[in-house]
Structure 1
């Protein structure tokens, strides 16, 4: 029963949307909106080919590297700033100023400074993905439970042990929330950076198809991004369930009590 409910949640709305799409395009040929069967055929022909290796693989590599860099920098800086009131007071104006500048605005500047290469694209993505992780980590560290803090004092946890056994576990729910936000931001910035300045990648392919008036191929790229977004969400939820297993167990025990 639970499996059927989950299948309904995952496939119910997409099935309804495809049915509406099919009904909309069944009345006649629409140059700008291909029929679902035409899109499915185009999708297979385009992306189940060498373009998977020349465009999808480079895009996913840039995204994963950017997320890894953002995670390391965001958590490390977030813990340092969250634990130090003076450092937080000193850096807060600068952080708010930088955060307010959209990373896409920096693309022309980075093109001049770095050039058209993977480093430029990764930098753009990191500048966007860093903030959700950093700010959530700071907030998670600042809002640590007083009972946990007192427990750490009793057990005389200091230095790295304090971070490992108190700070990271206590802040991990908010850190995971920041990572989930960064996944969506990273995918958007990946496509935008590849549309602006690239010779490969999913974003480059979509804009190239549009310039060539290859409408079904363009839609297939958009559809591919949706699939990637869903897959990233599924993988992240599995990791989150494993990492925060203790947290969900604690909440269930609290609710039962």
Structure 2
């Protein structure tokens, strides 16, 4: 068991280590002010991202991201379940959904600012408006793909309403729902940064732009590293949650492969 964990850890860390080594070798000794050596960036990192800056910039960004992501998850799963369950609702909503999905969320920032102001509400709405689509569409497809035989069996046994939704529809659609949640997480990080570049006073995106405008290039690169580390940590947490919630699904796939 320990050997398997070590081997898996080696596979996970191999590519990042190789990429960092290549970056270090390619940038070492570089005199371009916009492409500082990696050693300079790493030496600058602890001086820039102190505990105070983590509290004033990283924590607000994470809270905005989680708020927008949670809002998108609730709205996307609720609407997706309704749309996927009823053919008539799907026929009415599909043209509108396709139209709205085609509008890039960053384009809506000036419009959202008119109604939500320039505070945290605007940033949360921007994040939610982009994250909701992969969750919504994957939920619709997951609900539509529920086995009709299982639906008929549940109906014949009198399992209806919330009980059928809880014990049959959502568990059957959960693998596809989690696929949408995974896509939405990366979109949320991007929109978090973009929203903080507009009329913000804190946040990772705001800080990176301030470094760029003041030509503190190594400091700007440290902000990019923070974003990468944040994305990696959120991805790890998401995988842990997914494996716990979808343990039955991964076990079923593993047993199918063995057979």
TM tier, shorter chain? over 0.9
**Offset, 1:41:** 2.3
> Is 1:227 aligned with 2:210?
no
Deviations 1:138-172 (A, max 9, x none): 00000002332133123211110010001110000
5 Å matches for 1:96-111? Answer: 96-111=98-113
* 1:143 alignment counterpart: 145
In structure 2, stretches of 5+ residues that fail to align are none
Give 2:61's aligned residue: 59
The answer on whether the counterparts of 2:105 and 2:129 sit within 8 Å (CA) in structure 1 is yes
> For the residues of structure 1 that align with 2:46 and 2:77, how far apart are their CA atoms?
39
Q: Please state how far the C-alpha of 1:12 moved relative to its aligned partner.
A: 1.4
Question: How far apart, in 1, do the equivalents of 2:130 and 2:102 lie?
Answer: 10
Name the residue aligned to 2:122.
120
- SS at the partner of 1:237? helix
Structure 2 distance, partners of 1:139, 1:40, is 45
- 1:24 deviates by 1.9
| Structure 1 counterpart of 2:175 | 173
- Structure 1 segments, 4+ long, off by >6 Å, are none
Out of 11-20 and 128-137, give the one that drifted further. 11-20
User: 1:205 is matched with which residue: 202, 207, 210?
Assistant: 207
Secondary structure at 1:195 match in 2: coil
Equivalent residue, structure 1, for 2:82: 80
Paired position in structure 1 for 2:158:
156
1:246 and 2:254 matched: no
**Offset of 1:242 from its aligned partner?**
0.7
CA distance in 1, matches of 2:206, 2:14: 32
Contact conserved, 2:68 with 2:125, CA < 8 A, in 1? yes
Match of 1:8 among 7, 10, 33: 10
Cα separation, partners in 2 of 1:68 and 1:85, compared to 1, 3 Å: same
Distance in 1 between residues matched to 2:11 and 2:192, nearest whole Å: 28
Deviation at residue 250 of structure 1 after TM alignment: 1.8
CA distance in 1, matches of 2:207, 2:29: 30
Q: RMSD across aligned C-alpha pairs, in angstroms?
A: 1.3
Give the whole-Å Cα distance in 2 for the aligned partners of 1:121 and 1:196.
9
What is the TM-score normalised by the length of structure 1? 0.96
Structure 1 runs not aligned, ≥5 long = none
Paired positions, count: 257
Structure 1 CA distance, aligned partners of 2:104 and 2:29? 43
